[in-house]
Structure 1
Amino acid sequence: MNSSRVLLLPGWQNSGPEHWQSRWERLHGDQRVEQHDWHWPRRGDWMARLDEVLLQDDAPAVLVAHSLGCQLVASWAEHSQHTARVKGALLVAPPDTEREDTPPQLHNWRPIRRTRLPFPSVAVISSDDPYGAAERSTQMAADWGSSVVIAGPRGHLNADSGLGDWPEGRELLHGLLKG
């Protein structure tokens, strides 16, 4: 990614070894933003941790978020003073944390932040994501000012989706950086 750092932002409960984010970490040397608590994620704590990691290096960053990581990007961008350090964001499978069946561990991620992002972004949405209806996810992406890619019926776009190294996602990332 040239001189940009790729920061991986996993969702709730982190990304397991066969998740495309973990595979990208091994294949491309991308940096996972480790959170202090993956099981009871506090929005403010996750936002502070992202700021902390961004400030560790002067190189611009590209955010690659999955699931709750997408909500992290939206919340963080609304409040951080360091958004200029980000060149763009790939937002994969943004969940609907306002649904009635949202687990109690995620209730502090309500309301969903919908402010336009101050950097280019692409949202990848599955037509049958169990954690967010495609219509809701597409509206979130529109509110964020993100381009939308509908991935078809691919579930939550995680290890269970059979994406492997997910070269299509990497191409979207390269396209995002080229503008």
Structure 2
Amino acid sequence: MKSRDADILILPGLGGSGPDHWQSRWQAKLSSARRIEQADWAHPEFAIWGARIAEAVAEAERPVVLVAHSLGVIAAAHVLAVAGPGRVAGAFLVAPPAEASVIDIPEIATDFRPYPTRVLPCPTVLVASTDDPYCTLEASEALASHWGSSLLNAGAAGHINTASGHGPWPEGLMAFAGFLTKL
């Protein structure tokens, strides 16, 4: 699959992704990409986020490929875990927070927990860092195992966001392009 053959839905995490974040840059670069906007990026509730994701998937005109970061990964996993096979052709999941780290963030509603533990119904890649402050590599490996995701170790890349130096993130875009070719 090529990017033009899919509706690429960008799912940021807590706070949304600012203009320098790789998700915003990919959205500007990929003609078929659009962001799933949420009513409140600062105080996320899964019931609201999940409904908006499901709505965006239903509105898509082509096969859907999700590109999620941080808490957006968890929202995507919840939606996929109950959706079953369908319109989502694949999901590129980057730097999910560990469930234990989400407990410590009071702005995040408790309905994001517990995390899904079943195999997701489409091909997925989980990109993880060896020094993510919100998730150990071992916790990312466990999520990948539960979800049936291929694990891509990004090395010492922090939370793979602007703060860790991942504005353009060309290596990620190349990995995403490789993922698309397998769908």
Match of 2:106 in 1: 104
Root-mean-square deviation (Å): 1.5
How many Å apart are 1:101 and its aligned residue? 5.7
Asked whether the equivalents of residues 74 and 115 of structure 1 are also in contact (C-alpha less than 8 Å), the reply is no
Distance 2:101 2:158 in 1: 17
Asked whether the equivalents of residues 10 and 36 of structure 2 are also in contact (C-alpha less than 8 Å), the reply is yes
Match of 2:79 in 1: 76
Distance 1:100 1:3 in 2: 35
1:34-78 residue CA offsets vs partner (Å, 9 max, x unmatched) = 011111111111111011111223211100000001101110012
Match of 1:113 in 2: 116
Match of 2:57 in 1: 54
Distance 2:17 2:4 in 1: 25
How many Å apart are 1:100 and its aligned residue? 7.6
Unpaired stretches in structure 1, ≥5 consecutive residues? none
Match of 2:24 in 1: 22
Provide the TM-score with structure 2 as the length reference. 0.91
Unpaired stretches in structure 2, ≥5 consecutive residues? none
Asked whether the equivalents of residues 98 and 111 of structure 1 are also in contact (C-alpha less than 8 Å), the reply is no
Seen in structure 2, the aligned counterparts of structure 1 residues 176 and 104 have a Cα distance that, compared at 3 Å, is same
Of residues 22-31 and 60-69 in structure 1, the stretch that sits farther from structure 2 once superposed is 22-31
Letter in 1 for 2:11: L
1:166 corresponds, among 161, 164, 169, to 169
Provide the TM-score with structure 1 as the length reference. 0.93
**Residue 53 of structure 2 aligns to a residue in which SS?**
helix
Match of 1:177 in 2: 180
How many Å apart are 1:178 and its aligned residue? 1.8
1:129-161 residue CA offsets vs partner (Å, 9 max, x unmatched) = 011111111111111100011111111000112
Match of 1:32 in 2: 35
Asked whether the equivalents of residues 120 and 176 of structure 1 are also in contact (C-alpha less than 8 Å), the reply is no
Distance 1:100 1:108 in 2: 11
Asked whether the equivalents of residues 74 and 114 of structure 1 are also in contact (C-alpha less than 8 Å), the reply is no
**Residue 4 of structure 2 aligns to a residue in which SS?**
coil
Asked whether the equivalents of residues 98 and 110 of structure 1 are also in contact (C-alpha less than 8 Å), the reply is no
**Residue 92 of structure 2 aligns to a residue in which SS?**
strand
Distance 1:97 1:105 in 2: 14
Asked whether the equivalents of residues 67 and 92 of structure 2 are also in contact (C-alpha less than 8 Å), the reply is yes
Asked whether the equivalents of residues 88 and 120 of structure 1 are also in contact (C-alpha less than 8 Å), the reply is yes
Identity within the alignment, % = 43
Match of 2:137 in 1: 134
